Amino acid sequence: MNASIPDVLGLMFIGILIGPVLKLIDPASFGKFGSLFSNLVLIFILFESGTDLKIAEVKASFKRIWHHQ
């Protein structure tokens, strides 16, 4: 089993650094594009998470949950 740090955590860290910490990007400057940008980022995060998903492990987890009820 490979226990590495997900890419999403790195992206979140970078976002926190350039936003609230270093104040390189002002949230008010996003304007109309803020909604579009946040949706694109969400799509990327979901896609990235989905590429790491192992269907066999999900099925096994649901079977364990189902048998415990």
Per-residue pLDDT of the chain (69 residues; tens, 9 = 90+): 556 777 778 888 998 898 889 988 877 777 767 788 888 988 988 888 888 778 888 888 888 887 766
The pLDDT of residue 43: 92
Q: Is residue 1 part of a domain?
A: no
If one counts the domains in the chain, the total is 1
* Angle in degrees, 0-180, between the axes of helices 7-16 and 33-51, rounded to the nearest 10: 150
* Domain ranges, residue 62: 7-68
pLDDT of residue 46: 87
Query: What is the number of other CB atoms lying within 10 angstroms of the CB of residue 30?
Result: 13
Domain assignment present for 51: yes
CB 8 within 8 A of CB 52: no
Predicted pLDDT at 24: 87
On whether residue 2 sits in a domain, the answer given is no
Is 23 inside any structural domain?
yes
In a domain, 25, yes or no: yes
Assess if residue 44 is contained within a domain. Answer: yes
